[in-house]
Structure 1
Amino acid sequence: MGNVGKLIALFTNHDDDVYCFRKELIEGLIDEGYELLISCPNGEKLELMKDIRFKYIDTQIDRRGTNVITDFKLFVNYYKLLKKHRPDVILTYTAKPNIYAGIAASVLKIPYISNVTGLGSVIKKKGFTKRFILYLFKKSFKKSSCVFFQNQENMKLAKESNLVTGKCELIPGSGVNITRFPLQPFPSNEEKIVFNYIGRVLKDKGIDDYIEAAKIIKKKYEYTEFNIIGFIEPTEMSYKKVLQELQEESIINYHGSQRDVKPFIKRSHCTIHPSTYGEGMSNVLLESASSGRPIITTDVSGCKETVEDGITGYVYKAGEMEDLVSKIELFIKLNNEERKKMGALGRSRVKNSFSRDIVVNAYVKEIDNLLKGSSSG
């Protein structure tokens, strides 16, 4: 195999990102004969990948921090790491690895492929901070061999802002492993109608709207259940007390971070994803739809693309809690066969348009082309 001895380095900001979104890509590249080096902060999800052969480097990242000195240290760390290991191709994901690993790779003249997992949080910033971050993105994307975008809106915005002037492609998010998330039997509604929020507990993810909607719905429909599955973002630990009180009042069931969300999806009727800022492409929604669960989400980029409104779920206006409540009520008033059909149509849509195989194949093709180009040059 011509790729033996070729090293691919993957940079991201969380072990969750590696296991949940990149595992099949890593396995696919290893099957192609490449060696893999992974750089991210250590975490328990890497334990679930111990049977896969790869080099690992623990790299601490303050994901949401804006300290210039801390970020410069991250750049220096990436530079030293790349200079030492000299990978043949680098894959970068999430904001800080995209920026700092990308710039380090361009300085060292190592080819790299960027992946924009969402520009929403950047767009919401103002003034100098926003201009500076956009400048860094532009600098990192300038020498990128290819920038993958996860939704049309982000790609259009990046082109119009001149963030990207070279090659870029649209892929269906990180895709979803339709085998790992098979069609699940739809639950009956004899006892309860179960709703899930799956994701980080974070204001930008619309957690406040989910909580308020749960309070209103629980008063009108006692036979509903609202779950929250996910860790509280370290910068927003005030939610710890809030969720504890809501649990005591039987409004919310908080389950914390879970290694496997499939059992929670299985017993649910619907996933609600109330994100108020644009994402790359919501994996939570793709995994839920792949499992045959209808979804209710917002009209922001990275969320709305995962739903056929009124057919596989419902789309509502981001930040409009009353609109969210009305969509939940619409769902409650369906009979269970209608809900089941909605979920089955969502599964078919994901299989056809959002399979992770599409993403893996796009990467394998781009890497092969890059290496063929460098060897012929």
Structure 2
Amino acid sequence: MRVAIVINKSWNIYNFRLSLVKALLAAGHEVIAIAPEDAYSAKLVAEGCQFLHLPMESKGTNPLKDLLLIQNFLKAYKQVKPDVILQYTIKPNIYGSIAAKLAGIPTINNVSGLGTVFIVQNLVSKVAMALYKFSFQFPAKVFFQNNDDKALFLERKLVRESITEVLPGSGIDTQRFQPAPFQRHDPFTFLMVSRALYEKGLVEYVEASKILKAKFPNVRIQLLGGIDEEGNIGIKRTLVEQWAQEGWLEYLGTSDDVAGVMRQADCVVLPSYREGTPRTLLEAAALGKPIVTTNVPGCKETVVDGYNGYLCEVRSGVDLAEKMQQVLSLPDTALQTMGQHSRQLAEEKFDEKYVIDRYFAAIKDATK
């Protein structure tokens, strides 16, 4: 069987869906990755994928311009002739679904997060809702990454409940992501793994840093992730560098070994405004790290408050600082236990084997 996987970045396929790709290849299927070409496209080919470049702006929000994507998707799908298409992120989900319907190919969509159009209510978001409602008539299955996102789509009548299912994000390979022996670092280290976007809560993270450093001057507040100045949602590099120069933030840039960086942290933080199920928090859980994150859809699924971390108020640097201080103030035994609880949750709730099994079942149903 020929299976196409379509996402807005090759990086995304390689970092978040490679285990699914490998499982499909191991089962004897052909896998064609369709995405904009980047440094990770060749890595996908090296893993056994075929690759087709499809230009796509990941953050553009001009629906009229994006409608032209339907033609690009249709051309790609007719060229590849897959038996089924797995689509992720907003543009493949919307425009790819329309193109796949025109090409007569079944699709399985994954709503991996609602993105800016659901956080900011404006004309663009209204158009996006209408496009979702139209295009989501066509998929054979729509996976959501948390119950809140699914409930929102059902409430707004954007999708039929009969084709929906909730998965724990992309899942996590608990064999690959193993905790290191417990060690409390000196100075204590907080790590946020995210692109430098406003909606990820980076401003609040810096506010929390200022509060914490007034009490604990040596505490380390780190950011690992790319700077994305595209559109109005990315924080400018000059501002990130200013925060770093002023001592509020250690900017670590990007890394292909996120797990290695995480192992050097005492607590992983993500003050995001809304997520699907954030991969970075699944990794943190599998690595046995306490987590501080916001009490919002997607993030709250990864933390049992007081058990493996703490939930904080969204858009509140003050409350974020309070919860980070609670972790910092834990004695070693309690800090170690909290990390062990994270690992236990990863094993019981987020193991990727379940996600892969559900995809195989959905592919079987879609191609009957």
Question: TM-score under structure 2 normalisation?
Answer: 0.95
Alignment length, in residue pairs?
A: 365
- Equivalent residue number for residue 308 of structure 1: 304
Query: Alpha-carbon deviation of 1:67?
Result: 2.5
- Equivalent residue number for residue 261 of structure 2: 264
Paired residue type of 1:92: Q
1:158 and 2:160 are equivalent in the alignment = no
360-369 vs 265-274, greater mean Cα deviation: 360-369
Query: Alpha-carbon deviation of 1:59?
Result: 1.7
Query: Alpha-carbon deviation of 1:152?
Result: 0.3
Inter-partner Cα distance in structure 2 for 1:107 and 1:140: 11
Q: Secondary structure at the match of 2:168?
A: coil
**1:187–1:268 Cα contact (<8 Å) kept:** no
**1:218–1:224 Cα contact (<8 Å) kept:** yes
1:250-303 CA-to-partner distances (Å, cap 9, x unmatched) read: 321111121111121011000110101x21101111101100000000011000
Inter-partner Cα distance in structure 2 for 1:50 and 1:38: 9
Query: Alpha-carbon deviation of 1:238?
Result: 5.1
> Within 5 Å, which residues of 2 pair with 1:294-305?
294-305=290-301
1:65 and 2:42 are equivalent in the alignment = no
Paired residue type of 2:249: I
1:149 and 2:144 are equivalent in the alignment = yes
65-74 vs 153-162, greater mean Cα deviation: 65-74
Runs of 5+ consecutive residues of structure 2 not aligned to the other structure: none
1:29 and 2:19 are equivalent in the alignment = no
1:114 and 2:114 are equivalent in the alignment = no
**2:143–2:166 Cα contact (<8 Å) kept:** yes
Runs of 5+ consecutive residues of structure 1 not aligned to the other structure: 1-5
Q: Secondary structure at the match of 1:188?
A: coil
Inter-partner Cα distance in structure 2 for 1:89 and 1:168: 17
Paired residue type of 2:80: H
**2:211–2:318 Cα contact (<8 Å) kept:** no
1:249 and 2:246 are equivalent in the alignment = yes
Q: Secondary structure at the match of 2:335?
A: helix
Inter-partner Cα distance in structure 2 for 1:262 and 1:128: 40
- Equivalent residue number for residue 175 of structure 1: 171
Q: Secondary structure at the match of 1:129?
A: helix
- Equivalent residue number for residue 8 of structure 1: 3
**1:290–1:347 Cα contact (<8 Å) kept:** yes
Query: Alpha-carbon deviation of 1:99?
Result: 0.5
Query: Alpha-carbon deviation of 1:120?
Result: 4.5
Inter-partner Cα distance in structure 1 for 2:183 and 2:46: 34
Inter-partner Cα distance in structure 2 for 1:266 and 1:47: 28
**2:10–2:35 Cα contact (<8 Å) kept:** yes
1:95 and 2:90 are equivalent in the alignment = yes
Paired residue type of 1:253: E
13-22 vs 298-307, greater mean Cα deviation: 13-22
Assess, with a 3 A threshold, how the Cα gap between structure 1 residues 37 and 48 changes in structure 2: closer, same or farther.
Answer: closer
Inter-partner Cα distance in structure 1 for 2:124 and 2:46: 42
Query: Alpha-carbon deviation of 1:16?
Result: 2.4
Q: Secondary structure at the match of 2:68?
A: helix
Inter-partner Cα distance in structure 2 for 1:358 and 1:302: 18
357-366 vs 174-183, greater mean Cα deviation: 174-183
Paired residue type of 2:257: D
**1:45–1:259 Cα contact (<8 Å) kept:** no
> Within 5 Å, which residues of 2 pair with 1:1-377?
6-165=1-160, 166-189=162-185, 191-235=186-230, 239-276=236-273, 278-371=274-367, 373=368
301-310 vs 75-84, greater mean Cα deviation: 75-84
**1:87–1:110 Cα contact (<8 Å) kept:** yes
**1:150–1:171 Cα contact (<8 Å) kept:** yes
**2:5–2:86 Cα contact (<8 Å) kept:** yes
Query: Alpha-carbon deviation of 1:326?
Result: 0.7
Inter-partner Cα distance in structure 1 for 2:68 and 2:138: 22
CA RMSD in angstroms, aligned pairs only: 1.5
Question: TM-score under structure 1 normalisation?
Answer: 0.93
Inter-partner Cα distance in structure 1 for 2:236 and 2:219: 22
Inter-partner Cα distance in structure 1 for 2:212 and 2:236: 21
User: Which structure 1 residue ranges, 4+ long, deviate > 4 Å from structure 2?
Assistant: none
Query: Alpha-carbon deviation of 1:14?
Result: 1.4
- Equivalent residue number for residue 3 of structure 1: none
Query: Alpha-carbon deviation of 1:43?
Result: 2.1
Q: Secondary structure at the match of 2:172?
A: coil
1:59-105 CA-to-partner distances (Å, cap 9, x unmatched) read: 22111112345312321110111112221000000000101111100
